[in-house]
């Protein structure tokens, strides 16, 4: 390794999770995947994008100072963004949960101008995928798929030892793979996407339906007979206490994810499938039916070798992953890629 590359590798990187509610940024040691200093402020996404970008830049400079570091110690910034990006131009194209949706906003260059640090963007779930692959549940694996089950269903792929991006970074949207082409409408405009069946709101909707149909379930009591209070977590609690209807709901959600995962098996031959996001906290309630569906539905590869595992890095996966992504962009020396940085 030459000296300048070694220098670059020793630098720390900032990883940022641009969420609809909170803006989180941390100094990350990309060699070990350690989060050294984390700060979180409200995103205030209702303000114009100019104001949000200024707050981001201020936060980055604050986090450097709070960690007792200097700008020279920082090799770059990575921002995990919840939406569609133009990776080459460093622009946001469509952030569905942000007022105004941020079309053609030059987020990367603006942050660079405001902070003086090189800035890379990456989709938020691809950031999580990169983090889990480098330092979490996918560590050491050559080919990995990630499903992030939350408000939506995000995804990401690592294929043959590389984070898969596809054109403009759009590859890996596993939540929008179709499991029934005649199925219900999805937020993306298509019909029958996995997200319409197994996202947090879709699971809550199954609970609401069960209660409103008058089925015998404790979900009604747990939500104080207020359908709006039904959450995936509440249904998981009911299921864990032995409620059959609640168990069925997770069986169904796991089956749907299992069907999408079976398609992923046939497509990329993963060694490990990682299930993350808030809904994955249901644990075996969700993971067991996914595993069972894979065993029943995949026959063209040794499916017993495909492990279905929970994510490991929790809320920090994206921050770690996108910091590593920035390191890969800005610390690449003539001899070494991300393997050394
Ligand atoms: Zn969709």
* Residue 32 Cα to ligand 1 middle (Å): 36
Q: Residue 88 has what pLDDT?
A: 87
* Residue 184 Cα to ligand 1 middle (Å): 10
CA 334 to each of CA 3, 77, 165, 263: distance values in angstroms, whole numbers, following the listed order: 11, 21, 23, 38
Residue 107, token pair as written in the block:
């987020």
* Residue 143 Cα to ligand 1 middle (Å): 24
First and final C-alpha spacing in the chain? 11
Return the SS3 of 141: coil
* Residue 294 Cα to ligand 1 middle (Å): 22
Q: Residue 341 has what pLDDT?
A: 42
* Residue 154 Cα to ligand 1 middle (Å): 10
Residue 23, token pair as written in the block:
């803006």
* Residue 191 Cα to ligand 1 middle (Å): 7
Sign of CA dihedral 30, 160, 169, 184: negative
Q: Residue 299 has what pLDDT?
A: 96
Would you say 218 and 241 are in contact if contact means Cβ atoms under 8 Å apart? Answer: yes
* Residue 178 Cα to ligand 1 middle (Å): 8
For residues 72 and 257, what is the distance between their CA atoms, to the nearest angstrom?
45
pTM score above 0.75: yes
* Residue 192 Cα to ligand 1 middle (Å): 7
Return the SS3 of 170: coil
Q: Residue 167 has what pLDDT?
A: 84
* Residue 86 Cα to ligand 1 middle (Å): 20
Q: Residue 9 has what pLDDT?
A: 52
- Widest CA span of the chain, in angstroms? 70
**What parts of the chain have a pLDDT lower than 70?**
1-9, 332-341
CB-based neighbours (< 5 A) of ligand 1, an ion: 176, 186, 188, 190, 193
* Residue 194 Cα to ligand 1 middle (Å): 7
For residues 146 and 318, what is the distance between their CA atoms, to the nearest angstrom?
12
CA 240 to each of CA 123, 234, 286, 305: distance values in angstroms, whole numbers, following the listed order: 34, 10, 11, 28
Among 287, 309, 294, 285, residue whose Cα is nearest residue 260: 294
Would you say 144 and 129 are in contact if contact means Cβ atoms under 8 Å apart? Answer: yes
Alpha helices for 102-183 (secondary structure H)? 107-115, 124-135
């Amino acid at each position: 390794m030459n000296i300048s590359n070694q220098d670059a590798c020793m630098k720390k990187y900032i990883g940022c999770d641009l969420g609809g509610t909170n803006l989180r940024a941390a100094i990350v040691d990309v060699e070990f995947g350690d989060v050294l200093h984390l700060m979180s402020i409200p995103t205030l996404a209702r303000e114009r994008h100019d104001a949000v970008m200024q707050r981001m830049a201020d936060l980055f400079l604050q986090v450097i100072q709070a960690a007792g570091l200097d700008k020279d110690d920082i090799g770059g910034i990575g921002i995990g963004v919840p939406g569609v990006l133009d990776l080459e131009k460093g622009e946001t194209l469509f952030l569905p949960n942000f007022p105004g949706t941020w079309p053609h906003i030059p987020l990367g260059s603006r942050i660079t101008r405001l902070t003086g640090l090189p800035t890379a963007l990456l989709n938020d779930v691809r950031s999580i995928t990169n983090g889990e692959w480098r330092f979490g549940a996918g560590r050491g694996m050559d080919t990995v798929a990630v499903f992030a089950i939350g408000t939506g269903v995000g995804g990401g792929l690592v294929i043959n030892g590389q984070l898969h991006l596809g054109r403009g970074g759009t590859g890996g949207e596993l939540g929008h793979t179709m499991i029934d082409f005649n199925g219900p409408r999805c937020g993306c405009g298509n019909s029958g996407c996995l997200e319409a069946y197994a996202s947090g709101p879709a699971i809550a909707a199954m609970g609401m339906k069960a209660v409103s149909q008058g089925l015998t379930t404790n979900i009604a009591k747990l939500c104080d007979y207020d359908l709006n209070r039904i959450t995936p977590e509440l249904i998981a609690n009911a299921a864990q206490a032995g409620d059959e209807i609640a168990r069925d709901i997770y069986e169904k959600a796991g089956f749907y994810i299992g069907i999408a995962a079976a398609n992923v098996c046939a497509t990329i031959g993963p060694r490990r499938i990682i299930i993350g996001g808030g809904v994955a906290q249901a644990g075996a309630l969700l993971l067991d039916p996914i595993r069972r569906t894979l065993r029943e539905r995949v026959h063209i590869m040794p499916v017993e070798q495909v492990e279905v595992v929970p994510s490991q890095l929790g809320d920090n996966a994206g921050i770690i992953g996108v910091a590593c992504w920035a390191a890969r962009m800005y610390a690449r020396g003539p001899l070494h890629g991300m393997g050394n940085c």
